[in-house]
Amino acid sequence: MRALTVLATGPLALIQDLGRPGNAHLGVPPSGALDQPSLRLANRLVGNPESAAGIETLLGGLSVRAEASCTVAVTGPQVSVSVSGRAAGSHHPVHLAAGDELVIGTPAAGLRCYVGVSGGVDVPEQLGSRATDVLSGIGPEPLRKGDVLPLGTPGLPVGVDEIAPARTPDDLVIPVVLGPREDWFTDPGTQIASGQWKVSPESNRVGVRLVGTALRRCERFQDVELASEGLVTGAIQVRPNGLPVIFLADHPTTGGYPVIGVIGSGSLPSLAQARPGVRVRFRPTA
């Protein structure tokens, strides 16, 4: 049987694909890989459709044994990769013979590495996706030592690709479109442009919590309750204490605190890799 056996998981290893968008009206979050370009690259490198399921690791530490010949690729931040004790490297296809053990180290920067494997991880789909959603519990459980992951039918690897490891800067300047509830805040453009934040260790796949400048509501919206309304990935929700949360793929489908702005989707991969302490500023755009 084509399969991988999990030997070690690191802090958290999850099966992820491109998620299950289109179900928010049922209360189902989109989920899926947080750093989608990295998962797509890993899949291309091993000859899969970009939408195939791979493994998202948090701070590396994953180790798997191939139960049959297969091709794997590790993407995301630069990380050490070895095959049965031999250094193999990230960001290119690596062949595993039956019995070979793939070991991923801890990245020096960034958070999430992606393992693509030829044929993709072939666990049953739930609502059209194999992704693990940590908010609602939909999808497979987080990986555990001893899990056996079945693999699908392999395709043909491509020869050439864009393989630069994801950049993981310590300073992020993120473009923001103000709204839908910018009018709840005093001078929202200035507040959002002049504030300074850091990524909180409380962050997870649901959202990146920020600590730093508290955003002030205007007088007429002090202590006003907002009826819950639909949320998009990338929404900057402001809690009553004034601190923002940027919602990621496992975000709740509706929320009852005002959203001051929505970040450009191009910034989501860098947020997926932002460690606690990374500095965040926003740049309002039209």
Site string (175-214) toward another protein, x via CB under 8 A: --xxxxx---------------------------------
Restricting to residues 138-157, which ones interact with another protein according to CB under 8 A? 138-139
Report the nearest approach of another protein to the CB of residue 138 (Å): 4
Restricting to residues 222-261, which ones interact with another protein according to CB under 8 A? 227-232, 234-235, 252-254, 259
The C-alpha atoms of residue 235 and residue 182 are separated, in whole angstroms, by 12
Report the nearest approach of another protein to the CB of residue 54 (Å): 20
Partner residues linked to 178 by β-bridges: 261
Select from 5-13, 56-64, 207-215, 221-229 the region that touches another protein (CB under 8 A). 221-229
Task: Give the tokens for residue 29.
Answer: 């979050």
Restricting to residues 80-139, which ones interact with another protein according to CB under 8 A? 124, 126-127, 136-139
- SS3 readout for 139-176: CCCCCCCCCEEEECCCCCCCCCCCCCCCCCCCEEEEEE
Report the nearest approach of another protein to the CB of residue 215 (Å): 18
Q: Which of 18, 28, 55, 121 binds another protein (CB under 8 A)?
A: 28
Name which of 138 and 166 has its Cβ closer to another protein.
138
Nearest residue to 97 (alpha-carbon basis) of 118, 77, 125, 123: 118
Q: Which of 24, 68, 123, 206 binds another protein (CB under 8 A)?
A: 24
Torsion of CA 259, 271, 275, 199, to 10 degrees: -20
- SS3 readout for 244-275: EEEECCCCCCEECCCEEEEECHHHHHHHHCCC
Report the nearest approach of another protein to the CB of residue 132 (Å): 11
Helices and strands (H and E) in the chain: how many: 3, 20
Helix residue ranges per DSSP H, the chain: 36-45, 188-194, 268-272
Nearest residue to 90 (alpha-carbon basis) of 15, 165, 16: 165
Name which of 26 and 160 has its Cβ closer to another protein.
26
**In the complex, which residues of this chain contact another protein (CB under 8 A)?**
21-28, 124, 126-127, 136-139, 177-181, 227-232, 234-235, 252-254, 259, 262-265
